[in-house]
Structure 1
């Protein structure tokens, strides 16, 4: 698994800086899964069947789960997803995009650890993380 392209590091930093600069969630805390990624959802023929591993469940900012738009959905689906989601204002989307960048990098790291036969490494997570990071950086 190839590490992040050195030319993209500045882009990742810009996404993260924008997320940090976005206004905080001002609404009441909502229940969020907190760890939505390809290994924690069950899908069949493109239809979500269920969500598993609720060990990170908490009440807080919905941006944590909205980050799944980049991590789980195919390129081009994020705009439609956010248009349909009633609570996805610009600030939530900015925070979610930053969290999606972080989650993508973690998936890539887990994949790299798997490629190197390190404990708890998951070699098949690297490509999913790379694809998600590409979507995050392209904003699609």
Structure 2
């Protein structure tokens, strides 16, 4: 996954996320595409009819996403044709838990009803670590 130069990215974070989601969908191979939108932030799009090709591609991407989506993973399912299917929902759930456990922010867009039941209906979930502030004198 090649990182774009800063001049290729829109200015605001929400705009960069939207741009990365559409870029990931356009780059999809075997029903899965990725796009980088900030340091440690990756958009992942699943496109077409859900099936074994997407499940295999997502399983193969897990190590790469563990390295590159250390801060944020945005998953876009709005380009799926038809139902998600249990195997695809399972692997997406595993990716979500893997990234959340590592401390990354995870956002899911366009999830079909069966995926929402499994992945949750919130737009974004976060695992936040707060540092204690030491009063300065």
TM-score by length of 2: 0.28
TM-score (norm 1): 0.28
Q: Which has the higher strand share?
A: 2
| Higher radius of gyration, 1 or 2 | 2
Higher helix share: 1
